């Protein structure tokens, strides 16, 4: 399957600084349709029927989240767009923000209407401060155009913390606090920002909303696989000739993305979903990309045959140990310990016992960590041990002075 | 876990401005001084320790003075694969300081950071809010020259 630009259709086509160019490409038609021809409930029904699932990594059904928040008691509700994009290897949201801020604003405005929220926030990571002006101007133009009578959209900036991409930490950060993960339940749809019902969605999720409202749930339903509807936007980096952002129908093969589009050669392994994502060998490149198989937020880092797996995992664990927020012990201690052992292997001092230690740590951390970071942090270690165990063993042999490949 | 209205803790919504004001201070003055922390706490009716806690949580906020320009070189995997190490070395050589340090004339602070979302242009770095990508050691001197 070739590239299929559905939600990136305006990228490179419109001028993100001029709303007229957006209006000339069906801009705000979906919002106008929602406001004038649909009730909030019918918008939510449409999103539910479309089967859209969150693009921020977890894949939670979008319409269901909206319905929970709409039904939650309380007059004051919030919509948040998660533009924190901190996962290693991810830059698709940046590409969207840079090229089509108006569709994003349209999606947020529709969400606010469906929810009955009068206030919405875009949480923009500090690293994207250079996009603040563009976004601010796009919101101002939209407001002047009369499209935001029902909702105020404000931008809140992060200040450099990976964990603030996690939804509850993000809300604490908007509240002006340290970005710490909250204990759950309650979940955001019932008690989110200032304990009010809140819908939080990824940038790419929001981008799907106008298309679904405009073209209908049935249209969307026909794209993709059984349990993964629509298209997905991928960021491909690493050992490829054409790194970049690509949009493909859900269910497309990894090979099509990495080899045909991004032009990877002599692939050895792929990290899918960033630092907390899965590591797979090149032999699995016919895997379809979907929630049922592998997806994450769509970040793909390619390593070719010249690369060393232990080294890559070591770097990944360094990231996770640094970014663990430290709130819960299994992750705080566990990521440090995993990193420590990987460091040992990297120095060529790892032992058989260390491998068992890695496995024990992984088993302990996954079920007991408070948020997705600690729960997923052992994945790179576990996956690399499954697919590339011999590379660990070679390092041990090297140390013992034995013959290593 | 439904709570009756009496049980819902009081929220000082002004507190949301803590981070906003600290970010402003950082962009303006290059750091969040103790005096600024006290001011923010006072004006928003939040304790100083709470404000200090926020100021030290985020990596883009600094309670110590930073140089006029802050360099943040990405060291995450995609950039590492594209030789970010050589970039780090050539900046260190050019400025005569190591990551974590500031030049004596306060012109540059040099830090390492995690993925800045520019992996398609790896190796990449931020100087203040500008992204510089597809870096090579040869490009470094010229780029640094454009900041004063
Ligand atoms: C450590 C951690 C970091 C996360 N970072 C992001 C992020 O940068 N962007 C994002 O959209 N979701 C991120 N998430 C997922 C969010 O918690 C949340 O699931 C998402 O914003 C929901 O939106 P969606 O349903 O539209 O995907 C992160 C989760 C964890 C555990
Ligand atoms: S799992 Fe890690 S990042 Fe998440 S709350 Fe615990 S310490 Fe913080
Ligand atoms: S890894 Fe360096 S910008 Fe993403």
Domain ranges of chain A: 19-221, 231-304, 309-404
Domain shared by B48 and B90, yes or no: no
The rounded Å distance from CA A182 to ligand 2 centre is: 10
Ligand 3 pocket, CB under 6 A: A 88; B 74, 76, 78-79, 115-119, 122, 124
**Whose alpha carbon is nearest atom 1 of ligand 2?**
A374
Query: Rounded to an integer, what distance in angstroms lies between the CA atom of residue A395 and that of residue A92?
Result: 36
pLDDT reading at A398 higher than 90: no
- Domain that residue B46 falls in: 5-57
pLDDT reading at B2 higher than 70: no
Domain shared by B80 and B138, yes or no: yes
Hey, are the CB atoms on A88 and B80 less than 8 Å from each other?
A: no
Hey, are the CB atoms on B58 and A157 less than 8 Å from each other?
A: no
> What is residue A397's predicted lDDT score, i.e. its pLDDT?
85
Average pLDDT value for chain B: 93
* Predicted confidence band of residue A402 (pLDDT cuts 50, 70, 90): very low
* Predicted confidence band of residue B10 (pLDDT cuts 50, 70, 90): low
pLDDT reading at B102 higher than 70: yes
pLDDT reading at A1 higher than 70: no
* Predicted confidence band of residue A405 (pLDDT cuts 50, 70, 90): very low
Q: Could you tell me if A35 and A183 are in contact, meaning their C-beta atoms sit under 8 angstroms apart?
A: no
Domain shared by B49 and B90, yes or no: no
CATH dotted code for A231-304:
3.10.20.600
Hey, are the CB atoms on B77 and A126 less than 8 Å from each other?
A: no
Residues from chain B contacting residue A239 (CB–CB below 8 Å): 81
Domain shared by B79 and B108, yes or no: yes
Nearest ligand to residue A238 Cα: 3
Token output for A206 = 């929001």
* Predicted confidence band of residue A404 (pLDDT cuts 50, 70, 90): very low
Nearest CA of chain A to the CA of B129: how many Å? 6
Domain shared by B32 and B93, yes or no: no
> What is residue B18's predicted lDDT score, i.e. its pLDDT?
97
| B64 lies in some domain | no
Reported ipTM: the value is 0.95
How many angstroms separate the Cα of A317 from the Cα of each of A141, A251, A310, A331, A396? Answer: 43, 29, 10, 12, 19
The sign of the dihedral angle between the CA atoms of A187, A190, A196, A197 is: positive
| Mutation site, B66, B117, B133, interface A, largest A CB count within 10 A | B117
Show which of residues 58-87 on chain A sit within 8 Å of chain B, judged by CB atoms.
Answer: 85-87
A98 touches chain B (CB under 8 A): no
CATH dotted code for A309-404:
1.20.1440.230
> What is residue A2's predicted lDDT score, i.e. its pLDDT?
75
Q: Which stretches within A261-401 are classed as H helix?
A: 309-323, 329-346, 352-368, 372-376, 379-399
> What is residue A400's predicted lDDT score, i.e. its pLDDT?
61
Domain shared by B45 and B74, yes or no: no
| B62 lies in some domain | no
Domain shared by B90 and B133, yes or no: yes
Kindly state the percentage of chain A with pLDDT values over 70. 98
Q: What is the mean pLDDT of residues A185-211?
A: 97
Ligand 1 pocket, CB under 6 A: A 54-58, 60, 82, 84-87, 163, 165-167, 200-202, 205, 371-373
| Mutation site, A179, A237, A327, interface B, largest B CB count within 10 A | A237
Which of B54, B77, B129 lies nearest to residue A88, judging by beta carbons?
B77
pLDDT reading at B82 higher than 70: yes
Overall number of domains in chain B:
2
The rounded Å distance from CA B59 to ligand 3 centre is: 16
Q: What is the CATH number of the domain that holds B114?
A: 3.40.30.10
Average pLDDT value for chain A: 95
If we measure between CA atoms, which residue out of A66, A70, A76 comes closest to residue A118? A76
> What is residue A114's predicted lDDT score, i.e. its pLDDT?
98
Provide the Cα torsion A66, A132, B109, B104; round to 10°: -140
Nearest ligand to residue B131 Cα: 3
Q: Could you tell me if A288 and A253 are in contact, meaning their C-beta atoms sit under 8 angstroms apart?
A: yes
Domain shared by B23 and B83, yes or no: no
Describe the crossing of helices A203-215 and A40-50 by its angle, rounded to 10 degrees: 100
Q: What is the mean pLDDT of residues A223-230?
A: 96
Domain shared by B137 and B89, yes or no: yes
Query: Rounded to an integer, what distance in angstroms lies between the CA atom of residue A57 and that of residue A273?
Result: 8
Domain shared by B52 and B89, yes or no: no
DSSP string, A84-115: ---STT--HHHHHHHH-HHHHHHHHHHHHHHH
> What is residue B11's predicted lDDT score, i.e. its pLDDT?
78
Domain shared by B53 and B73, yes or no: no
Which of B60, B81, B120 lies nearest to residue A159, judging by beta carbons?
B60
* Predicted confidence band of residue B65 (pLDDT cuts 50, 70, 90): very high
Domain shared by B84 and B137, yes or no: yes
**Whose alpha carbon is nearest atom 4 of ligand 2?**
A371
If we measure between CA atoms, which residue out of A245, A232, A219 comes closest to residue A7? A232
> What is residue B12's predicted lDDT score, i.e. its pLDDT?
83
Q: Could you tell me if A197 and A77 are in contact, meaning their C-beta atoms sit under 8 angstroms apart?
A: yes
| Superfamily grouping for domain A19-221 | NADH-ubiquinone oxidoreductase 51kDa subunit (3.40.50.11540)
Matching residue, tokens 């045959």: A305
Counting one residue from chain A and one from chain B, the pairs whose CB atoms sit within 8 A come to 130
Residues from chain A contacting residue B77 (CB–CB below 8 Å): 88-89, 238, 271, 275, 301, 312, 315-316, 319
> What is residue B3's predicted lDDT score, i.e. its pLDDT?
44
What's this model's pTM, rounded to 2 decimal places? 0.96
């Amino acid at each position: 399957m070739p590239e299929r630009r559905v939600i990136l259709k305006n990228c490179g086509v419109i001028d993100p600084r001029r709303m007229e160019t957006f209006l000339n490409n069906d801009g705000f038609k979906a919002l106008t349709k929602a406001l004038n021809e649909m009730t909030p409930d019918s918008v939510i029904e449409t999103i539910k029927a479309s089967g859209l699932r969150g693009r921020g990594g977890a894949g939670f059904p979008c319409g269901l989240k909206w319905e929970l928040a709409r039904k939650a008691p309380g007059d004051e509700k919030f919509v948040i767009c998660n533009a924190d994009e901190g996962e290693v290897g991810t830059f698709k949201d940046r590409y969207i923000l840079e090229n089509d801020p108006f569709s994003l604003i349209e999606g947020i405005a529709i969400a606010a209407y469906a929810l009955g929220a009068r206030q919405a926030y875009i949480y923009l990571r500090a690293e994207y401060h250079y996009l603040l002006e563009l976004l601010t101007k796009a919101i101002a133009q939209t407001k002047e155009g009369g499209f935001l009578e029902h909702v105020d959209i404000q931008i809140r900036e992060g200040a450099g913390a990976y964990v603030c991409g996690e939804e509850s930490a993000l809300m604490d950060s908007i509240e002006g606090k340290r970005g710490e993960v909250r204990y759950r339940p309650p979940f955001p749809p019932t008690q989110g920002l200032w304990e009010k019902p809140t819908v939080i969605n990824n940038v790419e999720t929001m981008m799907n909303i106008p298309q679904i409202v405009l073209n209908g749930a049935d249209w969307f339903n026909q794209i993709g696989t059984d349990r993964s509807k629509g298209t997905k936007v991928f960021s491909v980096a690493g050992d490829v000739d054409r790194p970049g952002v690509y949009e493909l129908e859900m269910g497309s093969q990894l090979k099509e993305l990495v080899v045909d589009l991004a032009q990877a050669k002599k692939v050895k392994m792929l990290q899918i979903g960033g630092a907390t994502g899965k590591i797979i060998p090149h032999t699995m490149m016919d895997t379809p990309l979907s929630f049922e198989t592998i997806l994450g937020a769509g970040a793909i880092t390619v390593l070719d045959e010249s690369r060393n797996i232990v080294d890559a995992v070591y770097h990944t664990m360094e990231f996770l140990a640094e970014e663990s927020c430290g709130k819960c012990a299994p992750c705080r201690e566990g990521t440090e310990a995993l990193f420590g052992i990987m460091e040992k292997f990297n120095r060529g001092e790892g032992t058989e016992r260390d491998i068992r230690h890695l496995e024990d740590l992984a088993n302990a951390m996954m079920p007991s960590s408070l948020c997705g970071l600690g729960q997923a942090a052992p994945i790179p270690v576990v996956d690399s041990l499954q697919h590339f165990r011999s590379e660990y063993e070679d390092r041990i042999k090297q140390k013992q002075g034995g013959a290593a490949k | 876990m439904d709570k009756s209205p009496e049980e819902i803790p009081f929220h000082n919504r002004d507190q949301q401005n803590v981070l906003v004001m600290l970010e402003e201070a950082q962009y303006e003055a290059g750091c969040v001084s103790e005096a600024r922390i006290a001011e923010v706490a006072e004006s928003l009716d939040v304790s100083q320790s709470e404000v200090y806690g926020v100021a030290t949580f985020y990596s883009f906020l600094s309670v110590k003075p930073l140089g006029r320009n802050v360099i943040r070189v990405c060291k995450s995997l995609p950039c590492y694969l594209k030789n970010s190490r050589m970039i780090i070395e050539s900046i260190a050589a050019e400025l005569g300081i190591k990551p974590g340090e500031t030049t004596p004339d306060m012109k540059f602070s040099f830090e390492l950071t995690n993925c800045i979302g520019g992996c398609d242009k790896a190796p990449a770095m931020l100087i203040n809010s500008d992204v510089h990508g597809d870096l090579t050691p040869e490009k470094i001197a010229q780029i640094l020259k454009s900041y004063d």
